[in-house]
Amino acid sequence: MEETISLQEIVKIIRKRLLLIIILTIITVGITAGISLYVLTPIYKAQTQILVNQNNNTNEAYSWSQMETDLQLINTYNVIITSPVILIPVIEKLGLDVTPETLMNQISVSNESDSKIVNITVVDSKPSQAVEISNTVADVFKEKIPQLMSVDNINILSSAKLSENPSPIKPNKIRNIAIAVVIGLVLGIGLAFLLELLDTTIKSEKDIEDLLDLPIMGVIGSIAKEKVSKSTFMSRRIRRN
């Protein structure tokens, strides 16, 4: 029974402060949408895939041995791709006004376990520049790797391409607004309960019972003003008579 009463009280408080909850939610969503649309810089992503594979395999035994070597070299390649020896020529080719360290932070290199495919992912505020950097890094790496390691086992599997309507990966407006709705509701409900807790005024018989821990024996009802005036007038007439 206590749980039912508690649940009813919760619903009653939420209903009572529903307007406050809605206003806080709308304000939170509006601020979040404004920041996502007009403050945060959109970030775009482009990806180029390279295949680590020897071109001139002559027999099956050699192919297996070379595949094992290629897989072992991938971790080394991942480091070389983001090193200044690759990034400096990329900066020079594209005429970028950034340092190798800054460009390195825009690039991530990954590959699946036991896979000879390496993904070069670039993020940038300009979608076309992200595509150019991704493809240029792959081209420079393929050009430089024979000189650096005396191997020629790099092929461009797929180049990054600029779509007609590129979509940014950040900020995620829908996710941000959904989070803002949840935060707004939590803040609104929390504030509603806080206001209810701080409100110590007595509004009903139940408030008196809860405060004094005594049963209510009777209630004096309110009398309409017109009835009071009429009653006073009648009493005066009786006295005169």
Q: What's the whole-number mean pLDDT along residues 150-170?
A: 90
- What tokens does 46 get? 């482009």
Model confidence at 66, pLDDT cuts 50, 70, 90, reads low
Sequence-ordered alpha helix ranges (H) in 35-122: 60-81, 84-94, 100-106
Return mean pLDDT, the chain: 84
Average pLDDT over every residue of 82-90: 96
- Is the pLDDT confidence value at 95 over 90? yes
Give the pLDDT confidence score for residue 231 in this predicted structure.
56
Asked whether residue 162 carries a pLDDT value surpassing 60, the answer given is: yes
User: Maximum Cα–Cα distance for the chain, whole Å?
Assistant: 134
Q: Which two tokens stand for residue 136?
A: 């240029």
* Residue 52 banded pLDDT, cuts 50, 70, 90: confident
Calpha distance 212→210 (Å, rounded): 6
Q: Is the peptide bond before 84 cis (omega within 30 degrees of 0)?
A: no
Confidence grade of residue 62 (pLDDT, cut at 50, 70, 90): very low
Section 30-50 average pLDDT: 95
Quote the pLDDT of residue 228: 52
| pLDDT tens per residue, range 103-115 | 999 999 998 777 8
